[in-house]
């Protein structure tokens, strides 16, 4: 994996830092540059029906082909970059808590740096953290004008004294109330665990990602979201996201241009026609 090519692509020179080293300044800058460069998107579900988690293929897709991905891809590439620099990283699985009844199919990262552990996540499709968030109970941190908080939930003792692992819950402040985003434990997962979750999202009609074409691109001042042909742009006002503008994409040509301009995604004319013309399934069970 070509680290220098990655750094050039994410505009590392804009950070004001020298070559990456194992320290918090590097970790924070990499997290932020990764989010500002790579969009969350699920186009391969409709273009190829396949998504690979092999590190060299992730690099080729996202850097060489100028595409994005979802959590397994976005955090998978970031994991490889952090490991190459020398960071101690543990990939974990989280459970989306935006609604009840969801399995653990969201990948996140824990990174140990300067005697502190941080939550690092560049792949949450909803409103996301934009820099490392300290793994500390009740710790509130502002990301892009929005407040986030981690809560440590101690489990009850069950099964004759067997204690379940501690559970961490990430929340966001919306309209002066804390709302759940996702929860996770610190238990270690194997590479194959992520392959299963990735395959589910790629192929299952129980996954929302097989039901709609989705792009979410974070910018320094806005968040740009495409769902099929509908676009919304959000800005932050008084620690809340509000709609700044919304519009409908009218043609495959417009879709291709909008993706390049607003999402840093480069696709061919043929690909844009497939994405624009394919209608989502009429009925999909929204399980996750």
* pLDDT the model gives residue 250: 97
Report whether 71 contacts 124 (CB < 8 A).
yes
List the 167-174 sheet strands across, edge first: 133-134, 116-120, 104-113, 88-96, 177-184, 167-174, 146-153, 139-143
Could you give the CA distance from residue 63 to residue 45 in angstroms, rounded to a whole number? 19
Question: Residue 111: CB partners within 8 Å, gap ≥ 6?
Answer: 27, 82, 87, 88, 89, 90, 117, 118, 120, 132
Active-site residue 128, yes or no? no
**Is residue 200 left, alpha or beta, with left meaning phi > 0 and alpha meaning psi from -120 to 50?**
alpha
Helix (H) or strand (E) holding 55: helix 55-59
Global pTM value: 0.93
Could you give the CA distance from residue 248 to residue 232 in angstroms, rounded to a whole number? 9
Could you give the CA distance from residue 280 to residue 268 in angstroms, rounded to a whole number? 21
Given 31, 34, 113, 121, the catalytic residue: 121
pLDDT in tens, 197-247: 999 999 988 888 998 999 999 999 999 999 999 999 999 999 999 999 999
pLDDT in tens, 94-141: 999 987 778 899 999 999 999 999 999 999 987 889 999 999 999 999
Given 31, 34, 106, 143, the catalytic residue: 106
pLDDT in tens, 1-59: 899 999 999 999 999 999 999 999 999 999 999 999 999 999 999 999 999 999 999 99
Active-site residue 23, yes or no? no
Question: Of 65-69, 191-195, 202-206, 278-282, which range is least confident?
Answer: 278-282
Given 31, 44, 71, 128, the catalytic residue: 71
Active-site residue 147, yes or no? no
Look up the CATH architecture of domain 3-277.
Answer: 2-Layer Sandwich (3.30)
Could you give the CA distance from residue 15 to residue 193 in angstroms, rounded to a whole number? 34
Domain ranges of the chain: 3-277
CB atoms inside a 10 Å sphere around CB 251: 12
């Amino acid at each position: 994996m070509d680290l220098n090519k990655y750094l050039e692509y994410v505009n590392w020179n804009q950070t004001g830092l020298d070559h990456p080293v194992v320290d918090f300044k590097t970790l924070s800058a990499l997290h932020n540059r990764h989010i500002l460069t790579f969009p969350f998107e699920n186009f391969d579900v409709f273009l190829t029906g396949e998504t690979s988690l092999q590190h060299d293929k992730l690099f080729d897709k996202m850097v060489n082909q100028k595409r994005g991905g979802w959590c397994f891809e976005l955090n998978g590439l970031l994991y490889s970059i952090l490991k190459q620099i020398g960071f101690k990283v543990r990939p974990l699985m989280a459970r989306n808590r935006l609604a009840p009844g969801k399995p653990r199919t969201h990948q996140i990262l824990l990174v140990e740096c300067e005697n502190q552990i941080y939550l690092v996540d560049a792949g949450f499709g909803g409103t996301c953290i934009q820099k490392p968030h300290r793994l500390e109970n009740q710790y509130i941190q502002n990301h892009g004008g929005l407040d986030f908080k981690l809560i440590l939930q101690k489990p009850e003792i069950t099964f004759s004294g067997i204690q379940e692992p501690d559970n961490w819950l990430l929340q966001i402040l919306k309209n002066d109330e804390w709302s759940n985003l996702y929860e996770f434990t610190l238990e270690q997962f194997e590479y194959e665990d992520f392959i299963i979750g990735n395959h589910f999202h790629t192929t299952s009609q129980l996954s929302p990602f097989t039901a709609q074409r989705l792009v979410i691109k974070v910018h320094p001042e806005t968040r740009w979201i495409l769902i099929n042909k509908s676009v919304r742009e959000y800005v932050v006002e008084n620690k809340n996201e509000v709609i700044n503008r919304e519009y409908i994409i009218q043609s495959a040509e417009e879709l291709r241009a909008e993706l390049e301009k607003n999402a840093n995604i480069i696709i061919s004319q043929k690909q844009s026609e497939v994405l624009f013309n394919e209608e989502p399934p009429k009925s999909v069970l929204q399980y996750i």
